[in-house]
Structure 1
Amino acid sequence: MIRFTVKGLITLVLTSSALFLTPIRSDAQVNMNRLVKVAKSCQEDVLDPNYYKRMGLPLNDIYFQNKSIIQKRITSCINSRYHYSLILTKYPWLDSTGEILPGYPGSVLVGSLAKYFDGVYHTTSILDCIANQDLSSEKCSLVARSIASGTAFRNVQYFERYYTVNVCPSCVVAHDELSGSEKEIFKAFVQWFLTLETTHRRELISILGDGDEASELRYAIISESNAAVNKYWEVRQGVEEEEQERRRQEVLGN
């Protein structure tokens, strides 16, 4: 029964016209075409053990049988992938800028930094960190925490909540091969950043840097991603209610 509820109703969300007809109850505008694509990819991967095995992440049966755990994974996945899609839409050139490490595109790290530098008034100090290439300085503490987990993902509790786990399996492998080394990943990021065109560097600092404008831009992207998650569950609840009513009517022979 759990298997049907989780997989069957998930499929109904994708095929139901309700996904396009239900009014949006959020202040942030949700791109429905984007949400449908993101939700479809997340639903496929979250229910696929091979998705996690290819990253070497620990798994047991409860990850695929417990409805609450699956819902949390879907929420995290939709939030991360919708967010990353917005980043690539805003900076389409990012997709062709190459990797910071084998299997680890620089665009993914940009997305994860924009995600973890949350809040409207954060001071990231990332420009100073890049300029001085010194991750050990006190000003770089936020960058250090955001650049890597500090340990391999397979050793981190709730690994499925991490941006890279949801967005880029090959990035997880690259990260874990360095045992989550903040210093090495930061060094690779700086080298990648300095190869970018000057205009592109400035564009990235406009979202990753200090100041109200950068903070508000990060906040707007995060807000829309959160709204997309809320929209998904709003629609899914409606589909579940419709399915339950259909079953009632079948019992009554209607």
Structure 2
Amino acid sequence: MNTSAAPAAPRPAPAFASQPHGLFIDGREQPATDGESMATVDPMTGADLTTIAVAGRDDIDAAVRVARRAFDDPAWGAVGPEQRSRVLHQIADVIEANTDELATLDSLEMGGPLMLTHGMVNHTVEVYRHYAGWPTRIYGATAPSAPGQLKYTKRSPLGVVAAIAAWNGPLVQMAYKIAPALATGNTVVAKPSEQTSLSLLRLAGLIREHTDLPDGVLNVITAPARAPGRP
């Protein structure tokens, strides 16, 4: 009886996981201002996958300025709710079309089985489709008024929103922050966990290539767990 274990199948390795990556600001990847980077590690093997940029104070300030400019730009700030809905559906389509790659990136970085990360990415699609229904259904209200008066409330975007997520299920965790922020007309500076940054960086690039979301509306900074912007 042969009791030797069968050799393990080689782990999938998307090209994106073997290339160094910068911060995603204003629609493109760019290195950190001081050139600092850090390794992202496959916890199953302990081996480095690649390197990602480490954002400093100047990088974070730049990302916020870009996001504020995008918020004030009519290309995003003046679009109607139907257009925001369409963009969110486009993002869902992009994720669905690239499920295998995104699930593999999450598996490589968080150490979860592909079956689990596939399920998480599939749910990420559902989250964006859910919030795509919001923009046309968010209303203000009118209040009782004296004759000759009209009292009402109006819902307005906040501006630049910071989104921070943990390492376990990074893409779906970010979806619960990014999707409602975009649905309500805000812009986003997102910081994934330094342990699992690749899938969001990849998604940001895919959104840039395949959707109508204007540059600067979604920005991704990567950094260790220390408070962003602090030495």
The answer to which structure has the higher helix fraction is 1
